[in-house]
């Protein structure tokens, strides 16, 4: 029987890339997003979609219930939906922190809890989308960075607690990946370009499908003994302290 995965934030950017890769690998994909399904996957027979705001606890429950009803099983959960583009610490308000937590953290906890019964039956996997900023910290993202550190902590906690049930929980930590939300900064923000692209050993922006391939690997049997890992997919950005002056230096 074909395996089934739920992917949140599946209508654009990284989430759409993840959905496309799982479909390519023969999975059935249940997408969840505030927006309708992308035309790039909507016509696929193995793709189903629900439009929902995951800040609503009832919407989380309904999404998991509908996924299991539609496919009869759940083998993997990819918690990708999130909010970026935060501001510096002194410009960040209490409302900002609540907004980022309500999108980047609370739905991850809810969906993992709600999906666990089905995942126990399939000995499935959870893949949480963290960030390199949630591994090493970064200036100018005061509300975003703590939430991604929280995702890393959730990943390690769940991996420890539910490994006994045959459930593996890992995270992918993207670097700079192209999406509608990052496109403007990539093109027009010189500081961002210098820090995130020129400061990356591979010297380029990552593509959503490259995050998708990492997620599909961690959800697959090929990763059957990998649990509690945070995998950077960032072109080496998170380790690049002293880059050569030129490509042939």
Please report where in the chains the tokens 């050569």 appear, as a residue.
Answer: 244
Which tokens in the block code for residue 23?
């479909």
* CA gap 168, 203 in Å, rounded: 32
Of 123, 119, 145, 122, nearest to 132 (Cα)? 145
Catalytic residue among 47, 97, 100, 144: 144
Contact yes or no for 135/230 (Cβ under 8 A) = yes
Q: Which of 57, 47, 45, 54 is nearest to 80 (CA)?
A: 54
Active site residue 101: no
Q: How many residues does the chain have?
A: 249
d(CA 2, CA 136): 38
In b/e form, how buried is each residue of 156-191, taking b as 16+ CB within 10 angstroms? Answer: bebbeebeeeebbbbbbbbbbbbbeebeebbeeeee
> Token pair for residue 159?
């991996």
Catalytic site positions: 144
């Amino acid at each position: 029987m074909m395996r089934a995965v739920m992917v949140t934030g599946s209508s654009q950017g990284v989430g759409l890339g993840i959905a496309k890769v799982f479909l390519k690998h023969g999975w059935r994909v249940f997408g969840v997003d505030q927006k309708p399904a992308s035309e790039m996957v909507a016509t696929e027979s193995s793709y189903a979609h629900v439009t929902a705001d995951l800040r609503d606890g009832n919407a989380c429950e309904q999404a998991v219930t509908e996924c299991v009803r539609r496919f009869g099983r759940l083998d993997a959960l990819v918690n990708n939906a999130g909010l970026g583009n935060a501001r510096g610490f002194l410009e960040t308000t209490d409302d900002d922190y609540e907004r980022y937590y309500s999108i980047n953290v609370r739905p991850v906890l809810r969906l993992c809890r709600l999906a666990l019964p089905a995942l126990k039956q399939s000995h499935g996997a959870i893949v949480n989308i963290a960030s390199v900023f949630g591994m090493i910290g970064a200036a100018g993202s005061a509300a975003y960075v703590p939430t991604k550190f929280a995702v890393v902590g959730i990943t390690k906690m769940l991996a420890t607690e539910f490994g006994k049930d045959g459930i593996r929980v890992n995270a992918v930590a993207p670097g700079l990946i192209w999406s509608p939300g990052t496109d403007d900064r990539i093109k027009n923000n010189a500081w961002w370009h210098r820090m995130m692209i020129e400061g990356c050993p591979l010297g380029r922006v990552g593509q959503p499908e490259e995050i998708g391939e990492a997620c599909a690997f961690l959800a697959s049997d090929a990763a059957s003994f990998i649990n509690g890992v945070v995998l950077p997919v960032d072109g080496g950005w998170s380790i690049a302290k002293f880059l050569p002056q030129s490509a042939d230096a």
